[in-house]
Amino acid sequence: MTPSTTERILTPTPDDQRVARHAAAAIVLTVAEAAIPLPLPGVKPGLANIITLVVLVRWGWREAAWVALLRVLVGSLVLGQFLAPGFFLSLAGGVASLVVLALSRYLPPRLFGPVSQSILAAFAHIGGQLVVARAWLVPHDGVFYLVPVFALAAALFGLINGLMAARLLAEHSAPATGDGTRSGLVR
Amino acid sequence: MAGPALRPWFAAWARHLRPGDLLVLFLALGASVGSALFLWQGGRPDKAVVKAGGRIFAEVDLKTPRTFEVPGPLGITRIEIQPGRARVASDPGPRQYCVRQGWLSTSGAVAICAPNQVSLALSGSRADYDSLNY
């Protein structure tokens, strides 16, 4: 007999738990970042993308997509932005950068590291947001007036996030130093 | 700017940059600067249109400095052009509004000397108004 829904037990696999851990770390960064005052709406460091990059390199695109999309969903729920315009902008940016990250894996890894992936994903993020903003929220070419500001922010924050992801990855793959200070994010 | 104390700090981070990363970074910065140059020049005028009595008296580019005199019912209005800007230097009108507007430097800007029926307008690729008439 088919067990009733109250009897059915979902057992999370180690993969599920790893996704949940990484998504939790990304959500914490999203919420912490929301407290930083910034001069322009839409310009954010996007620190949670460090987690996405680390997961992408270590565990593959599928898990990175899970982490990024869970982060968008739960981050918006925690911040009270779920289904508000900001949520759709984040979602569009997140999906666009996941597409670019999927393509970026075909770059030769000797030449292009997490910094390249981070900058490319940041540009895809503003691209996806601008498409949604232009098509739906602000149906006027005036939204493109701020493109240079967004592009500069994407270049700078993409560089910083990429460097942090690269360093986390390098420190994790290096032999243990035994000082116990290693971040738990990439375990 | 970076003192010697910061050098090891920079080196520690620069270790994580691969050659292609620098290329991507420069392309990204180039895209920012390029989009700024492309998108933020719409307000720059490229020619001045002078009208007298409702008819176009002269259309000049804003590259070479020059002055010219426009006759009207009250007398002579002098227009002065300089690279990127133009003004009404003098006008016989009683209230001098167009003279006191000073230099015009954005596309769509207009100085109208109504008593002498002379107007000076700057036009460019993007203007703030579709048309102005009086």
**In-domain check, residue B71:** yes
- Does the beta carbon of B89 lie under 8 angstroms from any beta carbon of chain A? no
Which structural domain range is residue B108 located in? Answer: 45-124
Q: At what angle do helices A85-104 and A48-59 cross, to 10 degrees?
A: 30
> B92 and B67 in one domain?
yes
> B33 and B50 in one domain?
no
**Contact by Cβ (8 Å): A161, A153:** no
- Does the beta carbon of A166 lie under 8 angstroms from any beta carbon of chain B? yes
- In a mutagenesis test of the B interface, which of A100, A105, A115 is the best target, namely the one with the most B β-carbons within 10 Å? A115
> B60 and B96 in one domain?
yes
- In a mutagenesis test of the A interface, which of B15, B24, B39 is the best target, namely the one with the most A β-carbons within 10 Å? B24
Each residue's pLDDT tens digit, B10-25: 888 999 999 999 999 9
CB contact under 8 A, B28 and A116: no
Alpha helix ranges (H) inside A6-60: 14-34, 48-59
**In-domain check, residue B133:** no
Tally of CB atoms within 10 A around B111: 23
Percent of the residues in chain A that have a pLDDT greater than 70, as a whole number: 91
> B55 and B15 in one domain?
no
Each residue's pLDDT tens digit, A115-162: 999 999 999 999 999 999 999 988 888 888 889 999 999 999 999 999
Domain count along chain B: 2
CA A31, CA A54: separation in Å to the nearest integer? 19
Q: How many A×B Cβ pairs under 8 Å?
A: 69
CB contact under 8 A, A119 and B31: no
Whether A96 shows a pLDDT value over 50: the answer reads yes
> B110 and B79 in one domain?
yes
| Residue A64 distance to chain B (closest CA, Å) | 21
CATH number of domain containing B67: 2.60.320.10
> B109 and B69 in one domain?
yes
* Confidence (pTM): 0.74
Task: Give CATH for domain A15-33+40-172.
Answer: 1.10.1760
User: What value does the CA radius of gyration of chain B take, rounded to a whole number of Å?
Assistant: 24
Domain ranges of chain A: 15-33+40-172
